[in-house]
Structure 1
Amino acid sequence: MSTITTTSVNSAASNAQSQLQQAAQSIISGSTGNSAMDVASLVSALVNAKTAGQTAALKAKQTSDTTVLSAYGALSSALNALQAAIKSLSDGTTLSTFGATASGKGIDPKAGPGAVAGSYAVDVTQIAASQSLSSAAFDGTARLGTGKLTIAIGGKSMDVTLDSSNNTLSGIANAINKAGNNPGVTATIVTGTGGAHLVLRSSTTGAANTINVSASDVQNDAGLSSLGVTSTPGANGAASTIVSSDTNKAWRQSEAAQDALFTIGGIAASSATNAVTSAISGVTLNLSSAAVGTTQTLTIAPDTTAQNTAITNFANLYNTVVTTINSLSSYDKSSKTAGALLGDSTLMTIRNALASVVGGGVGSGTSTVGLASIGIALKGDPADGTLVIDSKKLSTALTGSPAQVATLFNSTNGIGAKLNKSIADFVKTGGIIDTRSTALNADLKSITTQQTTLANYSAQLTKQYQNQFTALNTLMATMNNNSQYLTALFGGSKSAGALATNK
């Protein structure tokens, strides 16, 4: 039995003894006629005397189990956070991460999986754009006739039927925007000094995504047929051109459909979008107008900043785990306070396993590479177990000895891989933490059942004693009344009765 349990039970026993003494005095007083018995207190004292020890023991065990269960929860949280932090270190993705930079503006490169180190000269001629067309000016409220407009873009088309309910310029724009089979055209009305203009814009960039409009079945023509326009993609991704069906009511191309055109190391390339993903393996070039007309140097190199962050984060979260373990297994001599898992074998198993991985290093040929070689060492106090990071040495290792870092965190037997496996075994369903937690929860469930049984027993005992001592109290009150009557009639040791005095 733990110190907490023993103390609680002893305290409960002492309290019960005190209540019993008070109850005994109540019986004595009642039997001598000095006062009535305090039945409620008497019953409470007797029931408490029978149940106090068990009640205290169950409560103390419940508190102890809950504390230990909470401690395992804190440990699991710290382990899960560490496991998440080392994922990219355990599978090797962090150390194969590359960064990309451009020497000027307008090229925002991003390196991803598949990228390799290299340097390239990038010359951007034009960026990709989506086509925008503006019609001739019309009376914004005039009805233009009935019929059908066919709008096509990039090989897809839709038909818009126009009748008296929607054949104004704004009605046409609304019908285009609401069409369920819209191929990717948005319509707006722009009103200028000459009248209202229908503006069509492709939602997709690229030379192939040109807009074509044709009118058919036109009745009561008041301008509907003049909304026809034919767009022609430019050669090799160059700007598109247009021809209007009515030169007197001609469309204007405010922005041409075109591809992004550029060279990489002297090799010509194009892209329908400004997020260029196909030019360099594993690299996305995000182009903007600032890049046009410039020749820039694109550099792809290992992303040591991301690697530094990942390794530093691993060390910090490992320290969180160690600090948590130290707190749960500590003992304060001055306050005589022990951690919730002091002496716990499960906690010791986890502590030793993690320390063995971190301190053991990784074999490389005939030698062993350890964390100390990249600037991460154990704190001076061996009992502490936390890691100290030399940021300067870590940065030097990442830039000057990448192979050594790669060995230390390789995906087969690297520190990250071994820690990940150990933690996975600890926190998995059926692992040592889950097994202990399951046993504690089962014990808590059993305690709750015992507490319910004890409460029912206490209620039954209370009712039984209440009936018994209420009857006893009534009997003693009757006997006291009879004793007083007889004393008054016959007299007592200190007085003569009514019969003796002929009263």
Structure 2
Amino acid sequence: MSTISTTSSTASANAALQSAAQSIISGSTGNSSMDVSTLVSALVNAKTAGQTAALAAQQTKDSTTLSAYGALSSALSALQSGIAGLANGTTLSTFAATASGKGLTATAGAGAVAGSYSVNVTQIAGSQALSSAAFGASTKLGTGTLTISLGGTPMSVNLDDTNNTLAGIASAINSNGSNPGVTATVVTGTDGAHLVLRSSNTGAANVIDVSTSNITTDNGLSSLGVTSTASTTGGVSTIVSSDTSNAWTQSGVAQDASFSVGGIAATSASNTVTTAIAGVTMNLTADSVGTTQTLTVSQDTTAQNTAITNFVSLYNTVVTTMASLSSFTAGSSSQGPLLGDSTLQTIRNQLATIVGGSVGSGSTGSTLAAIGIKLKDDPADGTMVVDNNALNAALQSSPATVASLFNSTNGIAQQLNTAITSFTQTGGIIDTRNTALNADLKSITTQQTSLADYTTQLTNQYQAQFTALNTLMATMNNNSQYLTALFGGTNSAGALATNKS
């Protein structure tokens, strides 16, 4: 492609040069003056066109090769990211937790082990909600200080004439920077407006207390005091109002979740239970209360199947990317930018050796084929196909084989991870090629700058020379015409020829 471009540029320069030569001939024979601009441009282009085209062609080739390596690196990096869980062993250590009834869900994480557990939920965790007595919506309750605490953690709210309505009190509570987790709203009923306080935290210990102090004007402010008592056994909270005539009511109780696992009683301040079964998080809802159901923890073969299938897909993307970058089409001038590239061939061979190899030795060695992953029938293709039935069977009935194949020491994924790192890291074979290509591009830019400077210098030189020549030839032509007019020329008689004495 670069040779065609260079040849075309040379042909164009020669054509311009012939046109310029004709201009000189015309100027010297008196037919017309020379076209100095065209002549100079043609001469300069004739001297520089070949080098200009060669530099541009090499620049295009280097840039295309860099882009090709970028595409290859992206595919390799995607494969490396996709196999991280297989390489470090976490994917094949994943478990799934399922419950036999409703209202109970669970997830299994690090530390989980396979097993079945009988879970009985008698109570879920709740958060406290308190409603004050009714007041007028715009009534100013007085000035002073409210101290509101949640689970023993207090905050102080100062009230004056600007914020001592129920709406003002609610806003002051919600915007307080020391708020321990109490939200306030105003609910209006047929009897008037009520201040409603809610704990954002569940659990028997998270009770709300309200006390008043520094009251200078009292129009109901002192009646907002309330003391809550947490249950010592995880049961419901109780309250005592400071003003029984304007008493608070408890619309939501603070309580712990209560349940048993395998007959072992347990409680939790949260409905998200992380401490009952090692590595398992249980999520309790009201639908689970009063039921006994079985929680089963087992290998998460669905997630493992997805991870392994994704690995095959990403590997195939790398293979097809390399095939595209090194493609060859007979009779075509457009070939893959990395056709015949030794770096790409090294990467292709090393990856193929890993996926086609065995992990372990002798009769204990495992291959991808053993779990249903094989190369396509066409050996030149290089991509793999997954027999999903065989893979599922291996995950369910031969987990040890799968675990051995993808062990975190020398398993297939770990070998690929190590190889890709050696390809893509700083100083790796791709980085080395990119460094050389960037250095060549920098050199080409320097040469192009020098060539541009030379072109400018040559243009100025030729411009001066041919402008002077054009002036000289014009003078000579004028003199020739004058002498011919005096003395005559071919087939003509001059003025002096008819003035003989």
State the TM-score bracket (shorter-chain normalisation). Answer: over 0.9
> Is 1:309 the equivalent of 2:292?
no
Change (3 A) 1:213 1:365: farther
Residue 163 of structure 1: CA displacement? 2.5
Deviates most, 222-231 or 331-340: 331-340
Q: Say which SS state the counterpart of residue 390 (structure 2) adopts.
A: helix
Equivalent residue for 2:167?
170
Kindly state the Cα deviation for residue 331 of structure 1 after the two structures are TM-superposed. Answer: 0.8
Are 1:82 and 2:79 matched, yes or no? yes
Letter in 2 for 1:168: T
Distance in 2 of aligned mates of 1:330 and 1:171: 74
Counterpart residue type for residue 36 of structure 1: S
Give the distance between the partners of 1:112 and 1:364, measured in 2 at CA: 32
Matching of residues 139-178 of structure 1 within 5 Å: 139-178=136-175
**1:218 to partner: Cα distance:** 2.7
Q: Verify: 1:333 aligned to 2:330, yes or no.
A: yes
Greater shift in the superposed pair: 404-413 or 279-288: 279-288
Distance 1:220 1:66, change over 3 A: closer
In structure 2, the partner of 1:104 is 101
CA distance in 1, matches of 2:90, 2:188: 55
Using the alignment, how far apart are the partners of 1:190 and 1:393 within structure 2?
62
Which aligned pairs between 1:58-77 and structure 2 lie closer than 5 A? 58-77=55-74
* Cα separation, 2, equivalents of 1:444 and 1:304: 51
1:448 to 445, 448, 465: 445
Equivalent positions of 1:59-458 (< 5 A) are: 59-363=56-360, 366-458=363-455
Structure 2 residue 470 is the aligned partner of structure 1 residue 488: no
Q: Is the 8 A contact 1:102 1:108 kept in 2?
A: yes
1:249-285 CA-to-partner distances (Å, cap 9, x unmatched) read: 1110000001111111111111111111111111111
Q: Distance in 2 between matches of 1:18 and 1:342?
A: 35
Distance 1:6 1:262 in 2: 81
- In structure 2, runs of 5+ residues without a counterpart are none
Question: Equivalences for 1:48-67 in 2 at 5 Å?
Answer: 48-67=45-64
Work out the CA distance in 1 between the residues paired with 2:61 and 2:143: 84
What secondary structure is seen at the aligned counterpart in 2 of 1:363?
A: coil
Which is worse superposed, 228-237 or 214-223?
214-223
Structure 1 gaps, min length 5: none
- Give 1:63 shift: 0.7
Displacement of 1:196 in angstroms is 0.9
Write the distance in 2 (CA, Å) between the matches of 1:448 and 1:494.
62
| Match among 465, 471, 475 for residue 468 of structure 1 | 465
Structure 2 Cα separation of the partners of residues 26 and 166 of structure 1: 96
Read off the aligned partner of 1:226 and give its amino acid letter. S
Which of 19, 24, 39 is the equivalent residue of 2:21?
Answer: 24
- Percent of aligned positions that are identical: 70
Q: Aligned partners of 2:344 and 2:275: how far apart in 1?
A: 52
**Structure 2 SS opposite 1:279:** strand
> Partner of 1:237: helix, strand, or coil?
coil
What's the offset of the Cα at 1:360? Answer: 0.6
**What letter matches 2:412 in structure 1?**
I
* Contact 1:126 1:261 survives alignment (8 Å): yes
Tell me if structure 2 keeps the 8 A contact 1:328–1:339.
Answer: yes
Tell me the CA shift for residue 20 of structure 1. Answer: 1.8
358-367 or 268-277, which moves further after superposition?
358-367
* 3-state SS of 1:8 partner: helix
Three-state SS of the structure 1 residue aligned to 2:188 is strand
Change (3 A) 1:275 1:365: farther
Q: Distance in 2 between matches of 1:421 and 1:142?
A: 73
Following TM superposition, by how much is the alpha carbon of 1:364 offset from its aligned partner in structure 2, in angstroms?
5.3
How many angstroms apart in 1 are the aligned matches of 2:241 and 2:422? 72
The one-letter amino acid paired with 1:350 is I
**Any idea what SS the aligned residue of 2:389 has?**
helix
Q: Is the 8 A contact 1:364 1:407 kept in 2?
A: no
RMSD: 1.4
CA distance in 2, matches of 1:43, 1:108: 85
SS at structure 1 position matched to 2:498: coil
Q: Does 1:41 align with 2:38?
A: yes
What amino acid does structure 2 have at the position aligned with 1:263? S
* Distance (whole Å) between structure 2 residues aligned to residue 158 and residue 17 of structure 1: 91
Partners in 1 of 2:10 and 2:153 — Cα distance? 88
- Take 1:328 and 1:358, find their aligned partners in 2: how far apart are those partners? 21
